[in-house]
Amino acid sequence: MTHENRKHNRGFTLIELLTVVSIIALLMGILLPSLNKARQQARRLKAQAQVDAVTKGVEMWRIDNRDQYPTSEPDDDPLGPASGPRLYGAHWLARAMVGHDMDGFLPGSIPETGDLPGNATSRTGTYIDPAFNIARDNDAVAFRVPLAATYQTSQLLLLDDYGYPLVYFRARTGGIASNKYLTLNDRSQGPAFYYRNDNEPFLAWDFADTGETHKLETVRPDDIDPTLPAATLQTNIHNASDSFGYYIHNHNVGETAGRLRPYNDDKFIIIGAGYDGLYGTRDDVKNFKVGL
């Protein structure tokens, strides 16, 4: 072999290899964040599409059930023992959309919809795709951290694309004309549009195992103090960014007839926890478009 051939057949030098590796690493450092961001955006869009589908399902349910939305009030399960665990907003949402057994809604299995029929032919169909992400609240596989035993019902929940329950609040529109307050913790404190404790177990459930507190778990005294004038209450809620009242307050609508108005004040609110697993943060997916 001639000297010229040996020259052309030699391999890469160490410096050349290191240069190539450095260039590849640099390109990966530039491209990966963009790819991750695109992946996260696609997942969020999918989660939002799920919430939109459930929102449409609830509207169809209303048409079929005397022009009223499913309840979100904590109550006994009509299909279970009176002494059993109560069902909450997220439970009632799943019950309305797919039934208690994913075989369609059974009239009477939600309070306010009438007596339970005596046969399965009275069922209506499901209101969302049965392939929707669904789990029971005591499913140890679906949730890394189980729901507190006192709240476990073995009933179905609808999950967002991140695997967290969709919580549901129905607006109270009757008997609040003279009430100037946006939100209250529970019904013992008087009438309001929405009650945080409709989803009490879920707002206290660290199912993401983060050790953090959901923003919607917080009810500040400013939200419920009946002695505060409306102007003071409005200022306090605007400044209380870590509270349930701040989260559902419609920041584009001022005080009306002496009261602060939330989003969807005549319908319902659905919220998914989003990527971080915390309700009340900016990455939430929900059925109102303006806000956090």
Question: What does pTM read for this prediction?
Answer: 0.81
pLDDT at position 135 is 96
pLDDT at position 119 is 53
| Tens of pLDDT, residues 9-25 | 566 787 878 888 888 88
Confidence of residue 292 (pLDDT cuts 50, 70, 90): very low
**Long-range CB contacts for residues 70-75, cutoff 8 Å, separation at least 24:** 70/95, 70/96, 70/110, 70/168, 70/170, 71/110, 71/111, 71/112, 71/170, 72/168, 72/169, 72/170, 72/198, 72/199, 72/268, 73/111, 73/170, 73/195, 73/198, 74/197, 74/198, 74/200, 75/111
Q: Are 285 and 70 in contact (CB under 8 A)?
A: no
Quote the CA–CA distance of 217 and 244 in Å, as a whole number. 7
Mean pLDDT of 127-145: 92
pLDDT at position 90 is 98
| Tens of pLDDT, residues 225-264 | 556 666 666 666 666 667 787 788 777 766 555 456 788 8
Mean pLDDT of 257-284: 85
| Tens of pLDDT, residues 27-78 | 878 777 766 777 888 888 999 999 999 999 999 999 999 899 999 999 999 9
List b or e across 216-244, with b for residues whose CB sees 16 or more CB atoms inside 10 angstroms.
bbbbbebbbeeebeeeebbebbeebeebb
Mean pLDDT of 96-125: 82
| Tens of pLDDT, residues 140-193 | 999 989 899 999 999 999 999 999 999 999 988 665 444 444 555 555 555 567
Quote the CA–CA distance of 206 and 268 in Å, as a whole number. 24
Give the strand order in the sheet containing 285-286.
Answer: 167-170, 268-272, 285-286
Mean pLDDT of 79-97: 92
Domain ranges of the chain: 22-286
